[in-house]
Amino acid sequence: MLKIPNSITRLAGRAVLSTKTHSPTILFVSGAVGVVATAVLTAKATMQLEEVLADAERNLDVAERVHASGKLSDEDYRRMTIYLRMKTYGNVGKLYGPAALCCVASIASLAGGHVILSRRNLALTAAYSAVSRGFEEYRKRVIAEYGPDKDREFRYGAEYKQVIEETDTGPQERTLTRVDTKTGQSVYARFFGVGNKEWDPNQDYNIIFLRQRQLMANDMLRAHGFLVLNDVYDLLGLEKSSAGAVVGWLYDGTGDGYVDFGIWENKDMTRLHNFVTGRDDMILLDFNVDGPIFQKIDKVVGALED
């Protein structure tokens, strides 16, 4: 029995895996090429259609003249016209058959690519949800064991520093929290500060603005039953993200059911949380998203309508 070397089987396996990985792209390209080919074949068939129809018309005229001369009975004439018409239909079918088959194959390719992508999106969403739940459970255990300060330190890579500041009443010690504005943030967190069109040098105005935007976001959540993170980014003048188009909040879902920017101490909305960058021109916002929501939107909206 012939034994195939492992190197060849591995190479074939990688080729199969690569084909499966890129199958949606392959099917989409095949479908797109097929659509163009369908148009070309249809145009080519249409150019020949006039000749086929003209030939059929000539044959019918001949049959009619023969019948008029009495050389062809009424029954034979009827059969002859049926035969000529069926032959014409067959010739037209032959002309447009390749275009029709190409069109069907193109639609099948595009639909197949869509099905594969839909299944992969479902799998990715399920995997993300599992990871998100695991991370939240991990955070809860860290908070229970070490407290919220350590949780924030681990999550954002924060550094705490004691500094002495001169005030009207004399030197006072202050704890600064420093976070890397490029890497020291969660997936959904954003820095609200200088450079944002909504930022104001007056910190009291920023507090009012953020409070008002959080209330507005919750109003939108209650009104629609769901809210994606990119909508909140828009409210705050922040750049959208790919993840922000997928994750968000459900009003009657399994999450918190409300929007929180993660900056209010003790949820009383009276002052900004101390967890900032150690600077007065930047505030770290983090959002309590429920995770991917699109698979659950129909159920929630239906419940609200009922």
* DSSP 8-state code for residue 19: H
Domain ranges of the chain: 6-121, 181-305
Which one is predicted more confidently, 162 or 49? 49
* DSSP helix/strand/coil, 176: strand
Decide which of 150 and 26 is more confident. Answer: 26
Residues paired with 289 in a beta bridge: none
Q: Output the pLDDT for position 7.
A: 67
Distance CA 94, CA 103 (A): 15
Close Cβ partners of 257 (under 8 Å, ≥ 6 residues apart) = 249, 250, 251
| Alpha carbon distance 67, 78 (integer Å) | 10
Question: H helices within 147-165, ranges in order?
Answer: 148-156
Residue 159 CB neighbours (<10 A)? 13
Question: So what's the pLDDT on residue 213?
Answer: 94
Distance CA 75, CA 305 (A): 67
3-class SS of residue 192:
strand
Lowest mean pLDDT among 5-9, 74-78, 170-174, 210-214: 5-9
In this predicted structure, the answer to whether residue 299 has a pLDDT above a threshold of 70 is no
Instruction: Please identify which residue in the block is written with the tokens 């991917």.
Output: 292
pLDDT at res. 209: 92
